Chains A and B, each alone.
Chain A
């Protein structure tokens, strides 16, 4: 199995390091041809606007959108989650629209308000998970098909719809591999 990581801007190498630690093959996705070699894709943390604009200038955006709509499994963290959401609150910015969620950018405030805290993962309740929220977005207006995988202070922070998962925090900044493992299981089980 080979996992792609969108590598236009952001913490893509951090994701790659985690996959390598898990003994998995991965490759960086910068061009449309890179999409041919992968069975799932991670959209990392970073600046969602940067990633969107760079990929739109290089035709990667439309090709990625096509593959995602054909069922390519995807995992988006923070900025990546914004890109995968259906729409952005108070903006008409185009997104990839893969998961039925409205997302509000920087909803927790600026960097001084960034925080970490323990959350419970519904699929792995035996141990609390330390989630790192950096200028994090918030998921609002969540569609009926979307499954809640974790929340923080009654706010959803990890969600899934079919073979797409999004987190408002940064699993790529920790050594806890559980969410990446969960994504790999989704790919292996073809979405279930």
Chain B
């Protein structure tokens, strides 16, 4: 009998496919997410929009908050650690958190290195802006990838940029000859072994979700049509006027992402979305996606 194998870790991510993972900060929100049909929840102390507003160093949530959420729902529970902070990850693993997000939304603990995720039985998800970054995280043991987008902005533009960059890289790899792939490893900073695997699979070897700025059912469906396997919604639900209804609408939009008549129906009379931020107006130090490499 084996535990924590690659198949088992990546397998849980495969069970999330076609689903929505929602940020929640307390058991009440977790129950709203469950009732909406979320496939997992991300337990946090603050949603990204509030992390932005709060400023200072953002760290792993208090285990008490995470535990309360784990006890409230039967869904898998994820939680975030700082980039490179393997001790925060050890704590989450010991608590039995189902998935760990090594996240740029928190203040990085290590400017050079991400966590060696092979050392854990708990699977990890990491953000990526392009194919090279995605494959570097997979090389470190990530069992799932998500676009970084720009969290807490309610602006989908960066997530779109990142999934398009990943898709562009995938297309190139699939069409390249061996000698071209060898050169491409240098350009994108990834191993030949992983490029050959991508070429064979014609996709990333792990599940790839959208994240960072998804605020409406249409945003979620856009990311699905661009090839994402599912969607994370952070601030977009609980910073909107009507979280319970919006949560359901986004879940339905991910399932019926290519049926405009359903998308119209679920978008109808949703109330105000979260207030959005323009990326160009963010200060350099406010841009989260540049954390990590």
Contact = CB atoms under 8 A, between A and B. Distances in A.
Given A53-B35, A53-B36, A54-B251, A114 B75 contact: no
A10 B96 contact: no
A147 interface: no
Contacts of A54: 37, 251-252, 255
B12 interface: yes
B74 A116 contact: no
A46 B255 CA distance: 13
Contact of B255 (A14, A30, A49, A111): A30
B11 A170 contact: yes
B12 A109 contact: no
Contacts of A92: none
Contact of A111 (B18, B19, B123, B252): B123
Interface string B1-39: 111110110011011111100000000000000111111
B270 to A, nearest CB: 15
A134 interface: yes
A113 B92 CA distance: 14
Interface in A1-39: 7-14, 30
Interface size class of B (residues with CB under 8 A): 35 or more
A45 interface: yes
A47 B40 contact: yes
B3 A10 contact: no
Contact of A9 (B4, B18, B259): B18
Closest 3 CB pairs of A and B: A111-B98, A53-B37, A47-B39
Interface of A: 7-14, 30, 45-47, 49-50, 53-54, 57-58, 78-79, 105-106, 109-117, 132, 134-135, 170, 173
Given A11-B15, A30-B259, A117-B1, 7 more contacts: A7-B18, A9-B17, A11-B14, A47-B39, A115-B2, A135-B15, A173-B11
